[in-house]
């Protein structure tokens, strides 16, 4: 019997001890494993909205325009462009020698078919509204000519990204996009495989127009917990991590490298200005004055964020000191409440998503505590994301703490919210003739100075009326092993810089 016990003991010890000793093989230096909490949810780039899908397909597909390291617009599959004098026509000159992963050449007919697919309402393209001013598309040699219904300078920025991916005309005609079809793009990495809930595998594209990437194999592995991604990086089985939680970003050790850039997205306390008590401008201004944004950033965001105004687009960024009460001013808040006839205090309900982003609930609780000092009661209605989205879309809230995506151009960022015909104006709950006029002015001019005036005026109108209370922008984090070279993080979260990165 003793022998039997010894044998069992030895077996258990071998299993546990052996597993501790047998470290998994490290990836080769041309292989990069990326840890991501989210899995992709589709392979059609035009309908992709999930961050993970956009990131993964961004390595596979190319677009006419790209965003560079300093958030500047630069050529992608188009090398140059020119607007007609009246701003009603955009001519793009397409890059030569570009190939799709199936070996066929990319030309203006492919670009035309791709944009037409986006404009087709049956596609359900996520960014259709951004290019809806296109009235006709002509492919002429290596040129693509877009005729517009109104002068529209921001359309250039709208042609950037995965939602504007260039597809092969053959694939479009044969309806071979999305579903179980293998993505066929012009990007630096070819599609390998997708194992749902586990991983996406890509390999370098030898005929990529910028030259074959030095990283030969990219695996995007789904690890549904950010702490576990960091652990996998510490253990050496993952070389690159996508992190959104500032708490995790703060735990990154010296053995790893953190890339940290201010995001284009922003946090805002979004109001429904159609319902009481927030239909009263003075109540909204009282809330604006009672909030201490720095405290919010230091506590709920662990110091990881920057105070922001409405516009986060780098070239047109709002000045956060130009708003009423740029710093917390409780006396002013009380004045506004008195002006609203609510000197004894006011109460409103705020819808908060519990699962939308890591710091949502702690931010809401911090704001609630701050507002209480001004006799403003913010009741929290905390719900999961799946319930939050339809209620948000229906403007079924009095107020909501929102984490809204930003854009490189303020036109595509806010036209849909704050113009009277914008498709999300119902959610924004505010529009005016002056806002409409300023958005048109910003759209019509190609000159940054003129556009800046228009967007400064828009920003001022929104903040002077406290339509929403803009709070802060978070950071985008990328964590990598120390020896990842030549990579820079982009504010739009794209992983495209991996095309020129290497491990060494």
Partner 1 sequence: MKKSSLLSRLLSVATTLFGISIFVFLVLRVIPGDTITSSLGIETGALNQEQIESLRKYYGIDQPIIGQYFSWISSFIQGDLGFSYSTGAPVLQLTKSALLVTMELALLGTTLGVFLGISVGMFSARKPGSLRDFLGQFFGLLALAIPGFVLSTTIVTVMANKFQYFPNGNEYMSPVEDLWMNLQQMLFPSLVLGIAVAAPVMRTTRSALLETVDKDFVRTAIGKGVTAKAVRLKHILRNSLIPIVTMTGIQFGYLLGGAVIVEKIFALPGMGRQILDAINKREYATVQSSIMVFAILFVTINLITDLIYRRIDPRIK
Q: What are phi and psi of 70, to 5 degrees?
A: -100, 30
Tokens 């995965």 found at: 162
State which of residues 131, 220, 222, 291 lies at the interface with partner 1 (CB under 8 A): 222
Instruction: Give the residue, chosen from 93, 231, 299, 432, that forms a contact with partner 1 under the rule CB under 8 A.
Output: 231
- If the CB atoms of residues 174 and 235 are measured against partner 1, the closer one turns out to be 235
What does the alpha-carbon distance between residue 358 and residue 261 come to, in Å, rounded to a whole number? 18
Distance separating alpha carbons of residues 327 and 254, to the nearest angstrom: 36
Report the C-alpha dihedral over residues 219, 355, 368, 376, rounded to 10 degrees.
120
For 338-365, the three-class secondary structure string (H helix, E strand, C coil) is HHCCCCCCEEEEEEEECCCCCCHHHHHH
Sole binder of partner 1 in the list 7, 206, 227, 372 (CB under 8 A): 227
Window 239-278: residues binding partner 1 (CB under 8 A): 253
User: Between the CA atoms of 115, 143, 187 and 475, what dihedral angle is there, to the nearest 10 degrees?
Assistant: -70
Closest CB to partner 1 among 135 and 225? Answer: 225
Question: Which residue number, 98 or 165, has a Cβ lying nearer to partner 1?
Answer: 165
Least Cβ distance, residue 390 to partner 1 (angstroms) = 5
Identify the residue among 23, 274, 447, 485 touching partner 1 (CB under 8 A).
23
SS (H, E, C) 193-242: EEECCCEEEEEECCCCCCCCCCCCEEEEEECCCHHHHHHHHHHCCCCEEE
- Is 175 a residue that touches partner 1 (CB under 8 A)? no
Q: Which is nearer to partner 1, 22 or 331 (CB)?
A: 22
Contact 372, 292 (CB under 8 A): no
Stretch that binds partner 1, among 66-74, 235-243, 274-282, 485-493 (CB under 8 A): 235-243
Interacting span for partner 1 (CB under 8 A) from 97-105, 107-115, 419-427, 486-494: 419-427
Nearer to partner 1, 154 or 320 (CB): 154
Element (H, E) at 287: helix 281-290
In the complex, the smallest distance separating the C-beta of residue 219 from partner 1, rounded to whole angstroms, is: 7
Interface residue with partner 1, options 17, 28, 41, 80 (CB under 8 A): 41
Smaller CB separation from partner 1, 424 or 437: 424
From candidates 176, 216, 391, 460, binder to partner 1 by CB under 8 A: 391
Q: Is 203 a binder of partner 1 (CB under 8 A)?
A: no
CA–CA distance, 259 with 363 (Å, rounded to integer): 24
- Tell me the C-alpha distance between 189 and 56, whole Å: 10
Applying the rule CB under 8 A, the residues between 43 and 102 that interact with partner 1 are: 43, 47, 49-50
464 to 503, contacts with partner 1 by CB under 8 A?
Answer: none
Give 88: exposed, middle or buried? Use CB within 10 Å, 0-12, 13-18, 19+. middle
Helix (H, G, I), strand (E, B) or coil at 434: helix
CB of 17 to partner 1, least distance (A): 11
Q: Is 22 in the site for partner 1 (CB under 8 A)?
A: yes
From 34, 39, 413, 468, residue interacting with partner 1 (rule: CB under 8 A):
39
Interface with partner 1, residue 219, by CB under 8 A: yes
Tokens of 10: 């030895």
Site for partner 1 in 435-454 (CB under 8 A): none
- Using the rule CB under 8 A, give the single segment among 60-68, 94-102, 127-135, 277-285 that binds partner 1: 127-135
For residue 356, CA distances in Å to 59, 245, 351, 384 come to: 25, 12, 12, 7
| CA end-to-end distance (rounded Å), the chain | 56
Counting residues that bind partner 1 (by CB under 8 A) gives 64
* Three-class secondary structure of residue 131 per DSSP: helix
Binding site for partner 1 (CB under 8 A): 15-16, 19-20, 22-24, 35, 39, 41-43, 47, 49-50, 121-122, 124, 126-129, 178-180, 194, 196-199, 219, 221-225, 227-228, 230-238, 253, 355, 384-387, 389-393, 404, 416, 423-424, 426-427
């Amino acid at each position: 019997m003793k022998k039997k016990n010894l044998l069992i003991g030895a077996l258990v010890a071998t299993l546990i001890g052996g597993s501790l000793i047998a470290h998994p093989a490290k990836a080769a230096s041309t292989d990069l494993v990326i840890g991501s909490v989210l899995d992709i949810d589709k392979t059609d780039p035009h309908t992709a909205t999930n961050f993970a899908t956009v990131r993964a397909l961004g390595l596979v597909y190319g677009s006419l325009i790209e965003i560079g390291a300093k958030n500047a617009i630069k050529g992608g599959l188009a090398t140059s462009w020119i607007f007609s004098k009246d701003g009603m026509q955009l001519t793009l000159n397409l890059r030569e020698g570009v190939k799709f992963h199936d070996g066929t050449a990319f030309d203006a007919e492919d670009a035309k078919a791709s944009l037409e697919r986006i404009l087709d309402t049956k596609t359900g393209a996520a960014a259709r509204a951004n290019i809806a001013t296109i009235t006709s598309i002509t492919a002429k040699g290596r040129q693509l000519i877009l005729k517009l219904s109104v002068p529209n300078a921001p359309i250039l920025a709208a042609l950037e990204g995965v939602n504007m991916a260039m597809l092969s005309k053959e694939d479009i005609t044969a309806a071979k996009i999305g579903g179980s079809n293998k993505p066929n793009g012009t990007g630096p990495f070819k599609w390998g495989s997708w194992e749902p809930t586990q991983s996406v595998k890509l390999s370098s594209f030898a005929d990529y127009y910028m030259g074959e990437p030095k990283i030969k194999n990219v695996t995007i592995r789904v690890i549904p917990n950010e702490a576990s991604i960091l652990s996998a990086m510490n253990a050496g089985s993952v070389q690159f991590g996508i992190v959104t939680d500032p708490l995790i970003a703060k735990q990154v050790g010296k053995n790893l490298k953190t890339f940290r850039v201010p995001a284009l997205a922003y946090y805002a306390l979004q109001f429904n200005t159609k319902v009481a008590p927030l239909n009263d401008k003075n109540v909204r201004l009282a809330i604006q004055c009672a909030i201490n944004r720095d405290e919010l950033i230091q506590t709920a965001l662990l110091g990881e964020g920057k105070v922001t105004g409405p516009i986060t687009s780098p070239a047109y960024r709002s000045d956060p000191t130009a708003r009423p009460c740029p710093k917390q001013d409780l006396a002013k808040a009380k004045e506004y409440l008195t002006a609203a006839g609510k000197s004894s205090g006011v109460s409103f309900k705020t819808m908060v998503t519990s699962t939308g982003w890591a710091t949502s609930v702690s931010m809401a609780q911090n704001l609630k505590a701050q507002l209480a000092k001004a006799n403003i009661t913010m009741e929290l209605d905390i719900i999961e994301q799946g319930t939050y989205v339809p209620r948000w879309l229906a403007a079924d809230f009095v107020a909501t703490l929102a984490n809204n995506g930003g854009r490189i151009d303020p036109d595509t960022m806010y036209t849909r919210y704050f113009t009277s015909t914008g498709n999300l104006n119902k959610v924004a709950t505010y529009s005016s003739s002056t806002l409409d006029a300023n958005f048109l002015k910003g759209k019509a001019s190609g000159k940054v100075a003129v556009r800046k005036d228009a967007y400064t005026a828009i920003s001022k109108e929104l903040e002077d009326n406290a339509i929403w209370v803009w709070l802060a922008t978070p950071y985008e984090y990328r964590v990598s092993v120390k020896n990842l070279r030549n990579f820079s993080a982009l504010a739009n979260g794209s992983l495209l810089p991996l095309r020129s990165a290497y491990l060494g």
